[in-house]
Amino acid sequence: MGLHVVVGKGPVGTTTAEQLVARGHAVRVLSRSGGSSTDAVEHRQVDATDADALAAAAAGADALYNAVNPAYPRWATDWPPVAAALLSAAERTGAVLVTMGNLYGYGRPSGPMTPETPLDATDVKGRVRARMWADALAAHEAGRVRVTEARAADFVGPQVSAEHSHLARQLPALRAGRRAWVVGDPDALRSWAYLPDVAATLATLGTDERALGRAWHVPSAPPRSQRQALTDLAAAMGVPPVPVSSVPWPVLRAVGLAVPVMREVVAIRHQFDQEFVIDASATTATFGLEPTPWDDVVAAVAAGTPVTA
């Protein structure tokens, strides 16, 4: 068992650190604010844009995990220096670089997304994520570094705050029996990534040579629309289902004039007005990773207690 360094201590970084500890690894978490170290996890205060500091903190590590989460409206400015610093640190230390990716780079899909689906995004965020992977893969193919990436659908789980979960932000409406207002078509099928499954995938990619040089999708339960998912959550919470409606796009555009986050949501409308589904069969076939059953996921969200992947 070796040293694994996780950069970022948000829900993904924290859950991944827990998963790595459970597998018997030494874990060091780096973040801008630092934290209190325990017997299981060491915390250090490190700026994710400082390649020298990252390399020093990752010296001797087997793997370096990018679990950074820049502010949503600032991806175009904040992601490039972070990605470059992490790539440099991995190259200098020899650690495998495992990046927490997403589906933005695919743009508007014409069917279920696989890791081989072209990264054809035309929106700003999608192009940023596609460029990050292109740079990492080029460095890998040049023999400078070893890289892999996990790509996940929308996060779900009790570890995920309403700020980062389309389902979690609807829980107050479910509890109060009020109408749930969602972004996009409430009946379009979507994939949902349970956070412990995300962490299990990242930990596996960082410890298996077969992961290197390509991206992998996080295994997810069969897709559910927002209406179906909220109905499932209401049942798990023991409350009646509520009406589910879509916020009109003109309203969201108007709100976006004053709220930067909403402006960014409008820019990726294509993720909400049609099916947005992934195929993670390659991950399951290669590593044997299976998604947590959907009924267990909604039960965990309703109870506020995670089911360990």
pLDDT at 307 over 80: no
Give the pLDDT of residue 187. 98
Which band of pLDDT confidence, cut at 50, 70 and 90, is reported for residue 304?
Answer: confident
Locate the domains of the chain by residue range.
3-153+194-219
Give domain 3-153+194-219's CATH architecture.
3-Layer(aba) Sandwich (3.40)
Residue 293 has what DSSP assignment? P
Cα–Cα distance for residue pair 107/109, rounded to 1 Å: 6
* DSSP letter assigned to residue 210: G
DSSP 105: G
pLDDT tens profile 161-189: 877 788 888 999 999 999 999 999 999 99
Residue 229 has pLDDT above 70, yes or no: yes
Strand partners, 180: 244
Work out the end-to-end distance of the chain between its first and last CA atoms, rounded to an integer number of angstroms: 20
CB 87 within 8 A of CB 135: yes
Percent of the chain with pLDDT over 70: 98
Q: Which pLDDT value is given to residue 123?
A: 94
Can you tell me the distance from the alpha carbon of 35 to that of 42, in angstroms, rounded to the nearest whole number?
8
- Residues recorded for the chain: 309
Token digits for 169? 């932000």
Q: For tokens 């009109």, name the residue.
A: 248
pLDDT (0 to 100) of residue 309: 46
pTM here? 0.95
Q: From residue 263, how far is each of 186, 251, 292 by CA, in Å?
A: 20, 11, 33
Contact 4, 62 (CB under 8 A): yes
Quote the pLDDT of residue 164. 77
Q: What is the pLDDT of residues 17-52, one digit of tens each?
A: 999 999 999 999 999 999 999 999 999 999 999 999
pLDDT, one tens digit per residue, over 254-292 is: 999 999 989 999 999 999 999 999 999 999 999 999 999
- Band of residue 306 on the pLDDT scale cut at 50, 70, 90: low
Q: What is the DSSP string of 233-264?
A: HHHHHTS----EEEPPHHHHHHHHTT-HHHHH
pLDDT in the model for residue 153 = 95
What CA–CA distance (Å, rounded) separates 211 from 38? 30
Model pLDDT, residue 50: 98
Measured between alpha carbons, how far is 226 from 154 in angstroms, rounded to an integer?
Answer: 11
Question: What would the pLDDT profile of 59-118 be if each residue is shown by its tens digit?
Answer: 999 999 999 999 999 999 999 999 999 999 999 999 999 999 999 999 998 899 999 999
The residue-averaged pLDDT of 199-214 equals 98
- Tokens 């793997």 label which residue? 63
